[in-house]
Structure 1
């Protein structure tokens, strides 16, 4: 079978060879980590050692990491605990967030009648920090701000340090969905001064079904999954030791190779921007994805006059690419609807593509993709 050109790395990334090997070795082990016999203790040791290694990479304490099944679960764990156990009465977020944040916030609104406020943003998806300050200044309730560090559809990088300074000024909790950032940006979670963050291994060349929540030390939370004392009574259920070890290996490799791989992918993105800009009339770069300094190097989001079944036709010719987030079932995501609602452009007249690059993309296949893609215009 001919190798497909995979350009949907923001949805999921292939496993690194080294991670695959580490998983194979781990699969030979057995013994419930909660058991007090030698096999269980050995697996428990490996889980805790993985926790320590991840914490060291992100400059946090091991006790601040809770292993979860995904970034979505991490977001749920954090948001639901803030309302149920930290007495948060108001959540400030944006309409550009991932569904795992927006739908959870809506569910909390229905269950607990919390106040929900949405911060403003411009047509490029830039969060209005003055509006954030205004919302916090007007508010007297215990508040959580939840804003993603890197937008998964348009690639915008939030000035999270500035947001954290504003939240600190108003004594407000801060959660950031860092799922598209961890493993791709040189993060120091302690220095960023945030209270909560979330991560998912399959976004940085690790296995599916494993992620983690960062919850700052001394913030007490409770498991919303009952039935066990795992993760220090913060997340019930037998730990996914295979996923934890695979994720740890993937994160270690991501940061060991970060400088080279970032430069490599960034050059591919620059090449694509130039070729697309020069060859497609009326091309739109969504958000800040054209701006190398203000967007993640892995994502390029574009729109152009309507081309029916384009992604399907590309797939048939061996190119895997996405029109939106993998969590969106409709053609137009809530992000694009929000970005285009106050513009003169009609969203139904446009086709959207998210080109997301990864370490396994070869320059030659990028050229082949562009040649094929431009043939539709």
Structure 2
């Protein structure tokens, strides 16, 4: 039996999305910047995809910009905002995705900006009072960048509350929404966010394509220089088929979002109950009431558990110990370290998708308790 439970790293493409993408690959090869009919057809496909995504997010099409994925989107926003002379510092947390932390570190150093960190508790919740205090000395000179859902432990940001604090101090708010796009409605018309990002392969779309949301009130400099594509925000010929496939996958995620989240909540409770009753010396990382499809298990950091991921792999169970972007590293997860558990536990991250079955979760528990 093969059980894939690493859907926070990437998801299986939906068959309907694959078929849709293949159709466009075969038929729509014109350059979207060309003025003849083949080019115009490609342009229509791209703009229809933009409109689909914008409508689902309750944004305007002019606020959606296509990229090669979440990492490029993050780099574009961070570099673009920090080039603004009025922005002098960034406030972030120690548990952000490495793409965010490294982008902030690099561009802050490049443009001579300061970086401050708001602390997190043992479950990965940011210290709201501390954020308020840090911003109290702000005068429209700060970018706050805090992820919506942590990719390793699933803890959710109280987005409305954080937005209220940022608005009180006239502060820009950027949230890494890669793990929640396609799982939450993310109503951008509420005005909580100035910037957000998405990566299609997190919601059953293709790899190598994503988008960024830049609210209409904000103007930033592009990361890539060249042509005038994406209204001068992202140079380079657009990836027509992947952009269209991403919009299709995003649309499908909304059609089944309520049903899927109800399933995740039910399955997660079932999984937690079985693990607590049947597996010795196990606890959980983060807030288990967080991201519905994600559960981080904490095993004792013993010699016996050192090869736990490999042992599960041999049994056909595919999970991660941390984020896929850092799983090749030999050091402890910076997220687990920030919540104070790096010295005592070895994490296993389970992330479900719409294809996950209860039988697969039961098989995981049966294997885990025998290892």
SS at match of 1:212: strand
Deviations, residues 301-324 of structure 1 (Å, cap 9, x unaligned): 011113021111111111110000
Select 1:355's aligned residue among 350, 357, 363.
350
Quote the residue 2:325 is aligned against.
327
SS at match of 2:348: strand
- Aligned positions, number: 365
SS at match of 2:325: coil
8 Å CA contact 1:96–1:335 kept in 2: the answer is yes
Q: What are the within-5 Å matches in structure 2 for residues 231-310 of structure 1?
A: 231-288=230-287, 290-291=288-289, 295-305=290-300, 306=302, 307-310=305-308
SS at match of 2:201: helix
Q: What are the within-5 Å matches in structure 2 for residues 77-116 of structure 1?
A: 77-85=76-84, 87-116=86-115
CA shift for structure 1 position 55:
0.4
Quote the residue 1:365 is aligned against.
360
8 Å CA contact 1:222–1:235 kept in 2: the answer is no
CA shift for structure 1 position 71:
0.6
CA RMSD of aligned residues (A): 1.3
CA distance in 2, matches of 1:171, 1:348: 39
Greater shift after overlay, 278-287 or 164-173? 278-287
8 Å CA contact 1:90–1:141 kept in 2: the answer is no
Deviations, residues 15-63 of structure 1 (Å, cap 9, x unaligned): 1111111111111121111111111111011101110110000000000
Q: Which runs of 5+ in 1 are unaligned?
A: none
CA distance in 2, matches of 1:32, 1:286: 48
CA distance in 2, matches of 1:374, 1:10: 23
Select 1:14's aligned residue among 12, 15, 18.
12
Quote the residue 1:339 is aligned against.
339
Distance 1:181 1:145, change over 3 A: same
TM-score (norm. length: structure 2): 0.96
Q: What are the within-5 Å matches in structure 2 for residues 48-197 of structure 1?
A: 48-85=47-84, 87-140=86-139, 142-197=141-196
TM-score (norm. length: structure 1): 0.94
Deviations, residues 182-211 of structure 1 (Å, cap 9, x unaligned): 100121012142100011111111110010
CA distance in 1, matches of 2:7, 2:331: 19
CA shift for structure 1 position 371:
0.7
Quote the residue 2:197 is aligned against.
198
CA shift for structure 1 position 139:
3.2
Deviations, residues 211-230 of structure 1 (Å, cap 9, x unaligned): 00000003222221111110
CA shift for structure 1 position 331:
4.9
CA distance in 1, matches of 2:24, 2:134: 49
8 Å CA contact 2:82–2:108 kept in 1: the answer is no
CA distance in 1, matches of 2:139, 2:226: 37
CA shift for structure 1 position 242:
1.1
Deviations, residues 265-297 of structure 1 (Å, cap 9, x unaligned): 221111111111112233221110x22xxx011
CA shift for structure 1 position 86:
6.0
SS at match of 1:322: coil
CA distance in 2, matches of 1:171, 1:308: 47
SS at match of 1:138: coil
